[in-house]
Chain A
Amino acid sequence: MTDEMNETVEQNDPVEKKDRRTDFFRKHAALIAWIPTAILCLLSAVLFLAPIGNVVMVGGDTLTGYGALIGDWMEGLKTPVMVMLAIASVSVIAGVLGIVLKKYRNSLAFDIAAIATSFSALATGVGQIAWLGSMSATQGVTYQPGAFSILAVVFGALFMLVAVGETVIHSVWIADNNQKALWKTTWGKWKGWVYLLPALVLLAIFTVWPIINTFRISMLEDYSVLAAKNPNADPFAVNFNNFKNVVQYSGFWNCLLNTVLLTVITVPISTMLALIIAVALNSIKPLRRIFQTIFFLPYVTNTIAIGMVFMAMFQMIGYSPTTEPTSVGVINTIIEAFGGTRVNWVNESSTKFANMFVLCVYIIWNALPFKILVLLGGLQGVNKQYYDAAKVDGASRWRIFWRITVPMLSPMIAYVVITGFIGGFKEYNSVVGIFGTGDLMGPPGSFGKPLNTMVGYIYDRIANNQGRASAAALILFAIIFIVTMINLYVSKKKVHY
């Protein structure tokens, strides 16, 4: 009995707890330094082909050149690569051992393993970049280092810093009690940033830089990567001509109109339908889960596949303006069964109205599951007592819906509307799904991509004129930004609590 009590006391002792926490951080810092660097080091060492792959892609070299490059590379760098791989393997083994054998976890050996790993990552990256530099010099073409090399250098350096710092602090500085306290406060102040650093670096590389780059490229007239790589080409003029060209192009306005129409029609309808379905689902008990599953199915199904099924439903097989179809889709079968005349939805020489109708049906159906899910979640979070109170207060079902349910759900409704608008402006998959390949973007036999959208336009431009693609992307961004601001402004007035 007494033993147990003593132990409980020990566990609750704040001093003891703090020490344990410090231990935990020591472990943590080492782990953080070790794991990503080890992975990156291995990746950059084993995937040594990646930078060359990059060169091939960017430089447009042929497979023959590729083979020649590998041959050169293997000859020139056999020894250093083997050394690096050896260091990496040893440090990985040491690190794994350090983790497996608990008693070495806090030991200097582990710190050294972390340093070794970071170093080999750093060395691999630097080695590859240096080699690319020498290749550029000898072959007279500028080769860009690959992403793996850059990452290896960045992370290698970063974690080397952490690992060395850690080791020094552990073995030298922290021995003194006064220093220990100082270290604790300093570390406490900065540890958040240190832990965030890997994520920040990744974000900077893959999110922040591309955004900045888009702005830059949009200002460079008719920028293209190929021309940018050509040292003999003229530098790009800095002006707003990309924007001007995009706006002056007639196809652009068609794309913009299609996008706006699809968004403005589908978002309100799908939101209302989703709200009705969610409320209905919430009010039934038997079969609710089955219905929930059915309504959720589109969410887990590939959009292109759904689009093809929709196309099959609306299509007429073997139809052309001069020939009768051999068979018609299920929609037209139903229309004919009710005595109507079949409609040319998606086939050759179908009207734009019919095409847009099919697209809207498809997009609404596709957008429902997510909205139902969010709204149903919101509904289930509403305290049942409000409904009891409203019942006692004599409110009709209709009034309960408008005065209680909708206001209570307003944050969720605002959320699905805002995300719906953003998603709507980025619509592209649906057109590809129903009208086939990205080259047609309209019913068979049409020209000039009559159903193309903004994203489709950007996608088209990316292949040959990244400057205009960037400009169009920024225009789309501005539209989405303004619409979202309006949404937020409206929801501020209408969304409760």
Chain B
Amino acid sequence: MKVVLQHLTKIFPSRDKKDQNAEVVAVNDFNLEIPDGKLIGLLGPSGCGKSTTLFMISGLQAPTSGKIFFGDDDVTALAPENRGIGLVFQNYALYPHMTVQQNILFPLQNLKGENRLSKEEMLKRATDAAKLVKIEEFMNRKPSELSGGQQQRVAIARALVKMPRVLLLDEPLSNLDARLRLQTREEIRRIQKDTKITTIFVTHDQEEAMSISDYIVVMKLGVIMQTGKPQRVYDDPANLFVAKFLGTPPINVFTGKVESEKLYIGGEAVLDVPGAEDQEVYVGIRPEGFILSAEGKLTCNVSGIDVMGRDISVVSTNENSLNPVVRSIISADELGNAAGATVKFNLKPAKVYLFNKETESRVYFGEQVALHETILAEMEAEGQIYTPHDGPLPREADDRVEADKPYVEKKSVFSKVKGLFKKNAAEADKAVEKPSLEAENTDNEVNE
């Protein structure tokens, strides 16, 4: 079942009666067409509106404006039970007083009129669903007697048993431990492939989304930043936010400028950028985009070397880097040259992305132009249509304004009182302030 979202917007009214401007735009003019039978990952940092979008598709929340279509049916005004959806909640919401079997049977028992099934049919359907997720041996247990992963599978079986047109998963893996998470995401992929049900799942974990989705939708502040196949989005980020959000370790961002088709970082011309116009840019370089070379143009101060087996991560600093450290991944063979206080890099043009400093949207150069066009053509051929957001996209810099404020640790009343008696109280205050860049980077580091 194809799912189409047209100009979907959700505004939560202001809680503060005095300040009507405090309303929250959770989802902002969301346009997306999801092809039939695909697994879609809605990806974004917390508070980006991905769960709200999912709940609007499920019908549990009503959109402020916009329309939702399943196939050709407009389901915007339909109640959740009439939409033919299966929903798996973040903490599963299994009914604690029912056994696994009763949980799975519950949606079937609610069917009315001509859809009503005989008892045997219900049992058969429930057993089939249980077999699909491999929990048939736990049918008589209560949810509290199951492990997290098993509960998760029961929740999926309950969502699948009524043969939904669309399956929705809200952070399905966030309550599982790391190992189970890997296992379960493969399981979700397998179930989705077996059933061929259009599946939308929400996650803040880019690795999770990249590994199992057919397509990912990267969101920020209620706006789609980019959609596409995971690898394509990784290789061809449309803006600085997407570039920074995807990839482990995260992309290295430098300030630089383009002058007469050359890219300058800190006064040094580090790369030829044919086709790029002169402008101030942010330079994003993937960790794998560095080549160690004695004649390298980009010079960094080495602060450490992490050996990760086959690869080696050189941790260094550069005054033009926005990240506190520059992380480059090189193969172990090259390491011999790097022994020293400084290290010099050449750059791989395909792994270097330029973003206009004002809009933070991508500046394509050289072979990247052709690649971008190929990808666009490919998307159109596959029928993923998304109309770009009307108006400027939220920028990284918007966040940075918030992050650039000095971070002052909240202190207890006790320490404040103590401070009064301290000669060096002012000094102590300064000491707890943290550099703003660290705060800015936490979002990506959480995912590692």
B partners with A: yes
Complex alpha-carbon distance, A267 and B305, angstroms: 75
Residues of B within 8 A of A385 (CB): 89, 91, 93
Taking CB atoms, residues of chain B closer than 8 Å to A392 are 58-60, 80-81, 85-87
A390–B106 alpha-carbon span in the complex (Å): 8
A1 within 8 A of B: yes
Q: Within the assembled complex, what's the spacing in Å between the Cα atoms of A407 and B94?
A: 13
CA distance A196 to B78 in the complex (A): 62
8 Å CB contacts to A: which residues of B399-430?
415, 418, 422, 424, 427-428
Cα of A386 to Cα of B91 in the assembled complex, Å: 10
Which of A1, A389, A407, A408 contacts B87, CB < 8 Å? A389
- Given A391-B60, A392-B60, A394-B110, does the pair A404, B95 have CB atoms closer than 8 Å? yes
B97 to chain A: which residues have CB within 8 Å?
A: 407-408, 410, 496-497
Q: How far is the CA of A1 from the CA of B107 in the complex (A)?
A: 62
Specify which of A1, A389, A390, A407 lies most central, judged by the most chain B CB atoms within 10 Å of its CB: A389
Q: Chain A 364-408, CB within 8 Å of chain B: the 1/0 string?
A: 000000000000000000010110111111111001000110011
- CB of B275 closer than 8 Å to a CB of A: no
B residues in contact with A404, CB < 8 Å: 95
Contacts of B59 in A (CB 8 A): 392
| A4 is an interface residue with CB less than 8 A from chain B | yes
**Given A3-B424, A4-B422, A393-B158: A388 and B93 within 8 A (CB)?**
yes
Q: How far is the CA of A386 from the CA of B162 in the complex (A)?
A: 18
Within 8 A of B (CB), among A394-434: 394-396, 399, 403-404, 407-408, 410
Interface Cβ pair total, 8 Å cutoff: 74
Q: Mark B151-162, 1 if CB is under 8 A from A, else 0.
A: 000000010001
Enumerate A458-481 residues with CB–CB distance to B below 8 Å: none
Shortest CB–CB separation between residue A100 and chain B, in angstroms?
Answer: 23
B22 at the interface (CB under 8 A from A): no
Q: Is the CB of A388 within 8 A of B60?
A: yes
How many Å lie between the Cα of A345 and that of B16 in the bound state? 54
Kindly provide the distance from the CB of B232 to the nearest chain A CB, expressed in whole angstroms: 33
Check: B144 CB closer than 8 A to any chain A CB: yes
Please state if B431 and A395 are interface contacts (CB–CB under 8 Å): no
Q: CB-CB contacts of A481-494 with B at 8 A, as 1s and 0s?
A: 00000000000000
Which of chain B's residues have a CB closer than 8 A to the CB of A410? 97
- By a CB distance below 8 angstroms, the chain B residues around A399 are 109-110
A410–B418 CA distance with the chains assembled, in angstroms? 52
Q: Are B106 and A393 in contact (CB under 8 A)?
A: yes
How many of chain B's residues have a CB under 8 angstroms from any CB in A? 33
What CA separation (Å) do A371 and B98 show in the bound complex?
26
Bound-state Cα–Cα, A408 to B94, Å: 12
- A386–B93 Cα distance when bound, in Å, is 6
Contact B106 A3 (CB under 8 A): no
Contact B107 A4 (CB under 8 A): no
* Cα–Cα, bound, A4→B81 (Å): 60
- Across the interface, which residues of B come within 8 angstroms of A396, CB to CB? 110
Return chain A residues, CB-CB under 8 Å to B79: 391
Q: A4-B422, A4-B428, A395-B110 are in contact. Are A388 and B89 (CB under 8 A)?
A: yes
B383 within 8 A of A: no
| Neighbouring B residues of A394 by C-beta, 8 Å | 80-82, 107, 110-111, 162
A87: shortest Cβ distance to chain B, in Å?
42
Complex CA distance for A430 and B415, rounded to whole angstroms: 58
Q: Which residues of A contact B106 (CB under 8 A)?
A: 390, 393, 395, 403
Give the docked Cα–Cα distance between A483 and B85 (Å).
Answer: 47
Q: Does B274 contact A (CB under 8 A)?
A: no
Which A residue's beta carbon lies closest to that of B102? A403
Rounded to whole angstroms, the CA-CA distance of A404 and B82 in the bound complex is: 20
Q: Mark B129-159, 1 if CB is under 8 A from A, else 0.
A: 0000000000000101000000000000010
Cα distance A4–B86 in the bound complex, in angstroms: 56
The yes or no answer to B96 lying at the interface (CB within 8 A) is yes
Q: B415 touching A383 by the CB < 8 A rule?
A: no
* Nearest B residue (CB) for A389: B93
**Residue of A at shortest CB range from B83?**
A392
B91 contacts A496, CB within 8 Å?
no
- Report which of A3, A390, A395, A496 forms a contact with B96, defined as CB distance below 8 A: A496
Residues of A within 8 A of B109 (CB): 399
Within the assembled complex, what's the spacing in Å between the Cα atoms of A407 and B415? 49
Distance in Å: Cβ of A114 to nearest Cβ of chain B: 32
Q: A403: which B residues are within 8 A, CB to CB? A: 95, 106
Contact, CB under 8 Å: B415 / A4 = yes
**Distance, CA A386 to CA B424, complexed state (A):** 55
A1 pairs with B424, CB closer than 8 A: yes
**Residues of chain A from 146 to 196 with CB closer than 8 A to chain B in the complex:** none
* Nearest neighbor of A7 in chain B, beta-carbon distance: B418
Q: Report the Cα distance A410→B85, complex, angstroms.
A: 30
CB closest residue in chain A, given B106 = A393
How far does the alpha carbon of A187 sit from the alpha carbon of B6 in the complex, in Å? Answer: 72
Sort A-B residue pairs by CB-CB distance and give the 7 closest, nearest first.
A496-B97, A394-B81, A393-B107, A385-B93, A407-B97, A389-B93, A394-B110
> Could you list some 14 contacts between A and B, CB below 8 A?
A1-B424, A1-B431, A388-B60, A388-B87, A389-B87, A389-B93, A390-B95, A391-B60, A391-B79, A391-B81, A393-B81, A399-B109, A403-B106, A497-B97
Instruction: Point out residues on A near B: beta carbons under 8 Å.
Output: 1, 3-4, 7, 383, 385-386, 388-396, 399, 403-404, 407-408, 410, 496-497
